[in-house]
Structure 1
Amino acid sequence: MTGQHHIEIDTSKPHPARMYDWYLGGKDNYPVDEEMGRQMLALDPRVPVMARVNRAFMHRATRWLAGQGVRQFLDIGTGIPTEPNLHQVAQRVAPDARVVYCDNDPIVLAHAAALLRSTPQGMTEYLQADVRDPAAIIDGAKKVLDLDRPVALSLIALLHFVSDTDGAHELVNRLLAELPSGSYLMMTHATGDFTPEESAAATEKLKAAGITLALRSRTEFTHFFDGLELVDPGVVVVPDWHPELGEPVPGQDDGVIPGYGAVGRKP
């Protein structure tokens, strides 16, 4: 990653990746992120648990997919690295796994060197691109992944920042259209189904800070899997997806975690 000698990071506005880092206890965030993080906590004290639950889902789903023989992963909206990251989980099961990470946040780019420690047999690459530019993502991914062989597309805690008017469904369909039969979509998404008042307040606060929050119902989330074969147990609240494949997150049972997770296979 040489040549990235100067990276512009806007610290005047909160950023979801840095807020997520703050929730996880990381150091790669700024006062503006902590301030918005605290405002979200005041609305719903389970937000840090939700962040950890999403990470834990990614670990479990990656283990499951690697166990099914998937050897290629495209992770969009990677966020700031928190170990173990997706490539570490996949390569523990399959040392020859190839992983492409993609994010549009410069602070993630600054940490890309930490992401790029692959096994000798596998490969890890980092791509700076926006989820709203699927053509750039596919072009970059093709340099590392063989798109004639199955790929797991990972969209963890990402699409609730992309509204329908910004083309969330078209983006998913466009990405999946490039992937062959036997590929998978693994996804989590926040919902307002269980906490409508807090969710509406959070949406307004984030909107004022320039962050879109497009919470979706269970039915709306399930539509992202149209045309795919849902892996058992289907669409569930995030901690309920194959809990036997990982460790429970402390606090995940203190009330319903307001988010859904699922994995679907492209026939």
Structure 2
Amino acid sequence: MVSGTGRVLVLGGTGEARRLATALVADGVDVLSSLAGRVADPVLPPGEVRIGGFGGIEGLTAWLAENPVDAVVDATHPFATTMTASAAAAADLAGVPLLRLQRPGWTAQPGDDWRWVDSLEGAAAAVAGFDRVFLTTGRQGLAAFAGLTAHCLVRSVDPPEPPLPARTTVVLERGPFSLDDELALLREHAVEVVVTKDSGGSMTAAKLTAARELGLPVVLVRRPPLPEGVPVVATVDEALTWVRAGLDRASSVD
């Protein structure tokens, strides 16, 4: 365990990022968590927090040059493709060690009717024949479904912005969601198909169990590929081991 040494930039916004920041702060590490600012009232981790983008690869590279850190952990959402790509390129240019912390995706269980697609546009095409659709893809990217004539139930933390499907009901909620809650929601709105991204994790997995119990199909958007050459771990404990080892090495060199 390290104690009071090093500075780490955590690209966050996920539960894993908050748990990592909490553990590192408890170690005495100087942690800066960066949040994209897409949620109006985010759950903040301990330690220093900055909110807002860096300005792409060039902006993050410049930031790293002006604000030296010993390591960067990209613990953003599995679908935060722009930030993940920028982090990989900027860390390489700045010569800063980078780790990708990404929770495993979901695994189908007996009785699941999962239909995989490669994009939100593909998901919209896959549900074109249904009349009542539950969209749980987050408020970013809902424009891909704007042309649907189905009644669409949209759930997000903050109000979504247009364009939206013509017949849309919005539910503003933040997870985690229980199985009973999800079953009640699907029944109340007579949902025929669920659309989601392969986000993984337990906070929003109950909807998949609910769909299975009700015999509903689920359209899942596959995860985008990760940048090549970046080490990847699946758990906070693995990320802690990586960070601690790197800070120990840096401390011994100093």
Query: Do the structures match in fold with TM over 0.5?
Result: no
TM-score range, shorter chain: 0.3 to 0.5
Structure number having the greater strand percentage: 2
TM-score (norm. length: structure 1)? 0.41
Higher helix content, 1 or 2? 1
